[in-house]
């Protein structure tokens, strides 16, 4: 599995994974730190070919994560993908936070077992309910930085 920075050319593939409009995902790539996980068989040095998505193909992407840092916390704003991809991708903001001495927080919509499992594997603790998004309940997970 390869993890890399998302490109604008990934917007259509990200939209397919997240079930969101392409322009929203394009803005996400510009406004946040966004990383994608690709199948290890994909050559990261190969030129992006033409697909029906106009860039990368969602079948090549195993998942994605977006995050930003505010004050003393890294906030995961979106994460989606396979269980293995979610764990590998969630480790990205954790590494950043460790270097900067920051905490990490992620909101997980109910039913997102891949993200629940990834958060548990990385040592996150459930700290209560989060806000509702489109009527769906979320749970808040937090990973505190060391002393």
Domain segments of the chain as ranges: 2-143
Residue 39, pLDDT score: 84
Burial of 31 (0-12, 13-18, 19+ CB in 10 A): exposed
**φ/ψ of residue 133, rounded to 5:** -125, 120
Residue 43, pLDDT score: 55
**pLDDT at 141 exceeding the cut of 90:** yes
Please report the sign of the dihedral spanned by the C-alpha atoms of residue 43, residue 44, residue 50, residue 56. positive
Q: What digits encode the pLDDT tens for the residues 60-80? A: 899 999 999 999 999 999 999
User: Distance between CA atoms of 131 and 96, rounded to whole angstroms?
Assistant: 25
- Residue 97 exposure: Cα atoms within 13 Å on the Cβ side: 28
Token pair listed for 83: 């269980």
User: Distance between CA atoms of 52 and 29, rounded to whole angstroms?
Assistant: 20
Greatest alpha-carbon pair distance for the chain in Å reads 49
Residue 134, pLDDT score: 82
Residue 51, pLDDT score: 42
Residue 133, pLDDT score: 85
**pLDDT at 96 exceeding the cut of 90:** yes
pTM recorded for the entire structure: 0.83
Residue 53, pLDDT score: 42
Q: What digits encode the pLDDT tens for the residues 4-59? A: 999 998 999 999 898 899 999 999 999 999 999 998 765 555 554 444 444 555 67
Residue 23, pLDDT score: 94
What's the order of all strands across the beta sheet hosting 136-143?
2-5, 33-38, 61-70, 73-81, 103-109, 136-143, 125-133
CATH topology of domain 2-143: Aminopeptidase (3.40.630)
- What percentage of the chain reaches a pLDDT higher than 90? 67
């Amino acid at each position: 599995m390869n993890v890399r920075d998302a490109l604008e050319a990934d917007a259509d593939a990200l939209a397919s994974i997240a079930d969101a409009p392409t322009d929203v995902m394009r803005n996400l790539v510009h406004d946040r730190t966004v990383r994608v996980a690709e199948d290890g068989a994909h050559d990261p040095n190969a030129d992006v070919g033409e697909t029906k998505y106009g860039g990368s193909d969602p079948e090549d992407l195993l998942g994605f994560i977006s995050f930003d840092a505010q004050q003393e916390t890294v906030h995961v704003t979106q994460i989606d993908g396979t269980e293995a991809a979610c764990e590998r991708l969630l480790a990205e903001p954790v590494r950043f936070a460790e270097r900067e001495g920051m905490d990490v927080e992620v909101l997980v919509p109910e039913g997102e077992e891949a993200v629940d499992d990834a958060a548990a594997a990385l040592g996150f603790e459930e700290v209560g309910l989060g806000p509702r998004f489109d009527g769906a309940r979320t749970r808040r997970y937090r990973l505190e930085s060391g002393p």
